[in-house]
A = this chain, B = another copy of it.
Amino acid sequence: MEIREYIIEKARVAKAASLRLAYIPTKAKDDALMRMADAIEEKRERIKAENARDLAQAEQKGLSRAMIDRLELNDKRITGMAQGLREIAALPDPVGSIHGMVRRPSGILVGRMRVPIGVIGIIYESRPNVTADAAGLCLKAGNAVILRGGSEAINSNICLGKILSDAASSAGIPDGALGMIETTDRTAVTEMLQAEGLIDLVIPRGGKDLIRAVVENSRIPVIKHYEGICHIYVDNEADLKMAEEICFNAKVQRPGVCNAMETLLINVGIAEAFIPKMFERLAEAGVEIKGCERTRRIAPQVKEATEDDWHAEYLDLILSVKLVDTLDEAIDHINRYGSAHTDAIITENYSKARRFITGVDSSSVMVNASTRLSDGGVYGLGAEIGISTDKLHARGPMGVEDLTTYKWVVYGDGQIRE
């Protein structure tokens, strides 16, 4: 009950702040973002000291090397956070523009004005730099934010939250606009997810288990980023040299991320011409290949792919390969086994490119480009709050504008309903 009151109070204060934030001038938000960046750099020793406490506890608990690495805030990462906030300040303010304003027969002018969403809850795991990113992006879009970080980073997060919130307040941002949950009590998340009417949107950032738990318990809309099972389909009319470069890049350049290729679909018509050189190059880069039966007839050295492989998000130097007879078979495979994240076709055929784009039900569909390009920065959004695998509100890379919604604005001069 104590936790519930704590959360409700945080959410109430955030809601009140959000109503004021909705009409705060762009300059005030940008000044606050610059001050937040300066404060992080000025107080870097304090941040490192608090972070050291988290690191010591992590060592004691025997957390993995990878987790401890993600937890660490060194000078480079602190400068990175500050730089990130300055970049957000430099982005255009999405709030206030009116889209599609028209004059209706009655004489009213009506259009949709971009406005903040309100209060956004961010629930995230170990990386404490998310604190600055998320706070900055939400503020730029005029939202209040309630941050709930992982328990292993609690000291770092409380310290960062205080520094950011103080800097924002000193620049005139209403108190409570940047709320940090300063307890590791797990029921805090449950209470956040029940705060319908106070929190408008929840964005979980972390592993599948976290996201699933949030979706199952939330009465508040959730935008989530499940997995990235990305495909490339190499058509029989592809430029095979281009296909090789793109596939190599999509699998090898950074295999541990969500937009790396996990399954390669190859049209049988060019399989014999394409596979030997492609597989050799992938093998040289250390990629383990798992192929369907027909693939293994051409490349007997590769392992056998099972049904599980078509569902797998390896996030590693592993690739499943399947031969298909037609474009439609490729599209069906992607819609069945993919995660609706990012999928590409390599082809020189105009009609097949169009068919792939309309037929594949994914948040990003590409022609002759690497799935690794699916990214807010590459798409021109500036900083990115995440990549949505949902279909509603925002799909794919989400920038500042995706943290806004709209209201209808009607200008009349006395119109009534007849």
Query: Which residues on A are within 8 Å of B, measured CB to CB?
Result: 19, 22-23, 96, 102, 104, 106, 108, 110, 113, 115, 117-118, 196, 200-201, 215-216, 219, 221, 239, 242, 245-246, 249-250, 253-254, 335, 344, 353, 355, 357-359, 361-370, 372-375, 378-380, 390-393, 395-397, 405-417
Contacts and interface: CB of A to CB of B under 8 A. Distances in A.
Nearest to A243: B414
B416 A22 contact: no
B22 A417 contact: no
Given A22-B358, A108-B378, A365-B410, 18 more contacts: A22-B359, A22-B361, A104-B379, A104-B380, A110-B378, A200-B392, A242-B413, A249-B417, A353-B411, A364-B407, A364-B410, A367-B411, A367-B412, A368-B414, A369-B412, A378-B417, A391-B405, A396-B407
A221 B104 contact: no
B335 A373 contact: no
A225 B245 CA distance: 50
Contacts of A395: 405-408
A96 B405 CA distance: 22
B417 A372 contact: yes
Contacts of A106: 373, 378
Contact of A407 (B102, B363, B375): B363
A110 B412 contact: no
A364 B408 CA distance: 4
B118 A416 contact: no
A104 B382 CA distance: 12
Contact of A23 (B254, B344, B359, B417): B359
A14 B338 CA distance: 18
Given A201-B392, A215-B219, A410 B369 contact: yes
Contacts of A409: 357, 364-366
Contacts of A249: 416-417
A304 to B, nearest CB: 28
A362 B393 CA distance: 18
A110 B361 contact: no
Which of A215, A366, A417 lies at the interface centre, i.e. has the most chain B CB atoms within 10 A of its CB? A417
14 contacts: A108-B378, A216-B219, A253-B417, A254-B417, A363-B408, A366-B409, A366-B411, A368-B414, A369-B415, A370-B417, A372-B417, A373-B415, A395-B407, A395-B408
B246 A414 contact: yes
B370 A416 contact: yes
A374 B175 CA distance: 34
A409 B413 CA distance: 42
A391 B114 CA distance: 11
Given A117-B392, A395-B406, A19 B361 contact: yes
A96 B115 CA distance: 26
A414 B365 contact: no
Contacts of A245: 414, 416
A254 to B, nearest CB: 8
Contacts of A250: 416
B361 A221 contact: no
B200 A370 contact: no
Contacts of A357: 113, 409
B102 A373 contact: no
A-B pairs, 5 with minimum CB distance: A369-B412, A372-B417, A249-B416, A23-B358, A366-B410
A37 B224 CA distance: 39
A395 B146 CA distance: 23
A406 B335 CA distance: 16
A83 to B, nearest CB: 20
A367 B113 CA distance: 14
